[in-house]
Amino acid sequence: MSIERCFNVSDFRRIAKKRLPAPMFHYIDGGSDDEWSLKNNSSAFHKYELLPRTLVDISHVDLKTKFLGCETSLPIFLSPTGGTQMFHPGKELAVARAAHKEGLLYGLSTVGTTKLEDLAAETSSPKMFQLYIFKDRELTEELIERCKAAKYQALCLTVDTIVGGNRERDLVTGMSIPPKFTLQSLMSIASKPAWVYKTIRGGKIDIANISHRIDRGASEHASVSARIDEQFDRSLTWEDARWMAEKWGGPFVIKGILTPEDALRARDIGASAVMLSNHGGRQLDCTPAPIDMVAKVRAAVGDDLEIIVDGGIRRGTDVLKALALGANACSIGRPYLYGLAAGGEAGVARVLQLLRDEIIRGASMMGCRSVDEITTDHVQRKS
């Protein structure tokens, strides 16, 4: 199947599974423990029905939206994901270019494989940087100052990875940093010569934004995997988040919120937005689907915070349901990674184009000509 014959995210997932060695595919595709949250994130959308309004002039539909201080062509953006170069040598730069062509915001991860300055120079479209509060506060401060200098529009603090999730697929395949591949995993890699060739040509995979602070005197394992894990500050509190918000001074997102109580705390310490997220089902299993928490969080915070739904988005109608329930925007991660693995920048572009068409088509059928017209009157929970 070529990417031109892909008509939905599931089609891209099938191609990605064929083209990637098993360890890399399962790293994208897997969750933690029994993967209940992973599955529930998507299936929860099926509990909601869209209510169309008919006989509305839809000759002009414009779904431009503004969130995180940026205007984008659609109420979606590309969520930060780590280790992107493992899936295609185009890495984050290819994804950012595709986002730029669609007029969308792109989020770069602290554990991405591209320097934030290089990404900033690649396109002029809005960007968000995702980071953690490290024990080494100088490293956190350095990253914030670099983002300011590179003119990133927003900063995102991820708060649900203080302890790593139990990702059993990765344990089975040996997908760690550095890898501990099993014989079966090595055979899978050997069976994908095109991926091997492109990966070798793409050069060393590096955690580009923090590798310069890694202890060079330690072993490779300690300097990459253990050292990064050691840097996560398990004593992180709301006061630390307040410190970061003040240090940044611009649009500030807290990612990993799932309750109204935490959303209110986020507002009180200076956040401008929350990403309702369970890390794609990759951290604590048996947590609510983000879509199920939108209405409760919106009722709690009113108009004081922007709400972004992160997790389970697979269709344009998923985005419309989130907006109708009270979200300002949605973010996607796995969908564009499947596209990247399937076809590089062109694959990501195709995924975004399909989602664009689905969102605009769905809004038109609902009788909504703008994001502001999508309200709670357009959604109901199935009885």
Residue 48: how many other CB atoms lie within 10 Å: 20
Sign of CA dihedral 94, 350, 69, 263: negative
Rg (CA), the chain: 20
The DSSP symbol for 33 reads: T
**Is 279 in the active site?**
yes
Q: Is residue 291 packed enough to be buried (19+ CB in 10 Å), middle (13-18) or exposed (0-12)?
A: buried
Q: Which of 26, 88, 279, 378 is catalytic?
A: 279
b/e map of 155-189 (b: 16 or more CB within 10 Å)?
bbbbbbbeeebebebbeebbbbbebebeeebeebb
Q: Coil, strand or helix: which one is 331? A: strand
Sign of CA dihedral 200, 202, 203, 209: negative
70-72/65-67 β-pairing: antiparallel
Query: Which tokens go with 221?
Result: 């394992």
Tokens 């993967």 sit on residue: 35
Q: Cβ distance 335 to 312 under 8 Å? A: no
Which among 162, 114, 166, 97 has a CA at the least distance from the CA of 135?
162
Q: Cβ distance 258 to 300 under 8 Å? A: no
Catalytic (active-site) positions:
279
